[in-house]
Amino acid sequence: MTQHRDLIEAIVGQPASDGDGVRLTRVFGGRDAARFDPFLMLDEFNSDSADDYIGGFPSHPHRGFETVTYMLEGRMLHEDHLGNRGLLGPGDVQWMTAGRGIIHSEMPQQDRGTMRGFQLWLNLPAADKMQPAHYRDLPASALPEQALAGGGQLKLIAGRIEHNGQSVTAPISGGKTAPLYIDVQLNANEHVSLPIPTTHRLLAYIYEGSVAVQGEQRTAVLEKGRLGRFGEGDRVSLQAGSAGARLLLLAGRPLGEPIVQYGPFVMNSEAEIHQAIRDYQLGRLTD
């Protein structure tokens, strides 16, 4: 029997600054991490003023999780200690697994125009936190899209989805958290109902327009700039407002493990965090 998920919490992102003074919106992250498990953080950056982004994110370390950078507008160069270089443009994605440790930078390749996109942090299970670091650059052309009956579309960044008799799988799929990451575009008043595994936690971030969430118990509206956290069920039912909507749909299987974070390190215990700090200070984070 189908159960549509109810919206149980709406969260407003907060202005923040990171890297070398990059202004952004921290949609969630850093507090009450278990509520969002397996996701750790979501940042939105969106500015047409170079002063807000030109400093970029000079070389910095990570250990114990994955970052997913999704560009909507602008150009950003990623480089790391392994010698990898990747230029992200509109619609491109970089999926980086920090694992044991990586030192990388993310620097704008423009001094004017709009820089817009998202960075999502996804936790790794304890058994995978110390794996070798690696990453994949995914051009926009590698991300499958599915047209909706009302004229909107789904762009699949991670996972697999079945809709209207069609099955679509992204280049990144599987793993213990089996993440589902979809950029959903809906026209005015368009409705979509999508299957979501009952094992997964579900979040939705509205970055244009608004949507009405039609759950089992009630209908609730999510406005632009709000993150929705959902209850249990096997489907999510969304209807765009009169201006249409664009949103990120994020679902993943919770790890249920302790989460201990210190800045760019996310481990399972204080002792592991202290070890990460020592390793970084001694130049052996990436050994």
**Longest CA span, the chain:** 57
What pTM does this model have? 0.97
What pLDDT sits at residue 166?
A: 87
271, 273, 274, 275: CA torsion to nearest 10 = 90
Cα distance between the two ends of the chain: 51
pLDDT at 104: 93
Q: What's the pLDDT score for residue 32?
A: 85
CA-CA distance, 42 to 137, in Å (whole number)? Answer: 19
Question: In tens digits, what is the pLDDT along the chain, a chain of 287 residues?
Answer: 899 999 999 999 999 999 999 999 999 998 788 999 999 999 999 999 999 999 999 999 999 999 999 999 999 999 998 888 899 999 999 999 999 999 999 999 999 999 999 999 999 999 999 999 998 999 999 999 999 999 999 999 999 998 888 899 999 999 999 999 999 999 999 999 999 999 999 999 999 999 999 999 999 999 999 999 999 999 999 999 999 999 999 999 999 999 999 999 999 999 999 999 999 999 999 88
Residue 287's pLDDT is 83
How much is the pLDDT for 165?
Answer: 86
User: What is the Cα Rg of the chain in Å?
Assistant: 19
Quick one: pLDDT at residue 82? 85
pLDDT at 31: 79
Residue-level pLDDT at 148: 95
221-247 burial: b if 16+ Cβ within 10 Å, else e: ebebbbbbbbbebebbbbbbbeebbbb
